[in-house]
Structure 1
């Protein structure tokens, strides 16, 4: 696949926003695989524009309501969509209804004529208590595969990427990719698009095993730092994305040298779009 320079629009939740890949100089304090893809596209061929509408914690219905129409109005030539992962982890979710809404989104995006990339979801092994959601994730993934085939979309079968068995590719919360995980996914997406890159990926040697004591301490720290706050947020009915705006809400011209980080350092304002502030 060879892509001419065009307009890349990314839709979704924390997966696409870039959570787990911190960067203090970029909007919302994260970078992520989609930014890395946009940077490499611009480096490979100047003229690329990029918008990222993804916001952490969003359910599919929210992504459809808040991101779809703005994305269509941007007239993209390349679109990535990951949506539904948060729905799979909601106990009362009707997966059949989620997939129906997902297909409606895909149909609308496909009608633009843009190259469309869809993602399956990974089976995250964080705790035995969450294994009950694996069957639902499998149903969701099969639905995504079928929808991708029906609309001639490009499938990024994230579920099959065995590299993510390496704990180093996961952030401390064990639910989001780490910096290394985002870099690896960016490399896979770029490979699918036929774009060369120079990203340095982790040595695939497995980390040394932990002792039982080290494992127990890590488990306690994980529960205290991540699970307890997550439960409290669910009880209060709030999410980490409630007060956030899209990181790149309008298409910006990605500098071939320095990429989005250079743009951010130049004084980019998401309220004004591309270009330095005055």
Structure 2
């Protein structure tokens, strides 16, 4: 078990070391940019956790483009070395999008991470994915893969005491206003809702089920408008994505984790050593 002593509050556990593992969604793509910085649902969740306990330290090891095998190979050991008491593990969508997809292999990589992290004493949380075909109709052939992966993740989670947040169980999660124009990444509002969903599941103070509530009605586009939007999406995002896959490239090539160390939530860089502490003053 971890050496950290947890202070229990009514209805929720207080966490002091939160580590996020995953791909672009956890890195925060779609919420901010590479110039001003990415926020994302994991950052937003860390802020909510810190509001409950300012002693929280947070690390985010996620890197865009990573498949489940890479998340396990590159992020699991560094995560364990940080001795977290809360971990989120979200991966698998990049695997689903690839022509060569082995459902058992992907689920096995996720379960191996669940097993190792829970064995270390951490509370592990993962997500069930919403139906991609409702976000991008041209992705409808991938829907069976997603449904199957969700079922495999649920089964693996139950074997290891992992908490599954079913963000795909509510119609609002496929509302286009929660997604960026590429339809593969949540936008700021989507990231906000995911963070709220996890916070609600963890029973954080002030959390509730408002994340499940629908947005005001949106007028449906006409047939021609909808078809035009699909063709533009295919040309602008699907085509380039397939091209990178065929060339063996990834959006995460050359990238590393944005927050590899446990730091207070308000900090993005390690604190400089205190000279007075070194001199004994």
Match of 1:109 among 108, 111, 117: 117
For residues 1-278 of structure 1, what are the structure 2 equivalents within 5 Å? 1-23=11-33, 29-125=37-133, 126-197=135-206, 204-254=215-265, 259=266, 263-264=267-268, 268=269, 273-274=270-271
- Deviates further, 193-202 or 235-244: 193-202
Pairwise CA distance, 1:213: 4.2
Tell me the distance in 2 between the aligned counterparts of 1:52 and 1:274. Answer: 17
- Measured against aligned partners, the alpha-carbon deviations of 1:195-245 in whole angstroms (never above 9, x if no partner) come to 135899797112222234433442333223212221221121111111211
Aligned residues: 260
Shift in alpha-carbon separation, 1:111–1:209, aligned structure 2, 3 A = same
Deviation digits for residues 68-110 of structure 1 (CA, Å, limit 9, x no counterpart)? 0000000001000011121122221111122122211111011
3-state SS of paired residue (2:186): coil
Check the 8 A contact 1:10/1:81 in 2, yes or no: yes
Range 62-71 or range 187-196, more displaced: 187-196
TM normalised by structure 1 equals: 0.86
Partner in structure 1 of residue 4 of structure 2: none
Q: Tell me, what secondary structure is at the counterpart of 2:156? A: helix
TM-score, structure 2 normalization: 0.85
Runs of 4+ deviating beyond 4 Å = 23-26, 126-129, 197-203
Asked which structure has the greater CA Rg, the reply is: 2
Q: Is the 8 A contact 1:5 1:46 kept in 2?
A: no
Q: 1:116 to 1:24 in 2, by over 3 A?
A: same
User: 242-251 or 15-24: which moved more?
Assistant: 15-24
Structure scoring higher RCO (CA < 8 A, sep ≥ 6) equals: 1
Structure 1 runs not aligned, ≥5 long: none
Cα deviation for residue 37 of structure 1 reads 0.6
Cα RMSD after superposing both structures: 2.3
Distance in 2 (CA, whole Å) between partners of 1:121 and 1:153 is 16
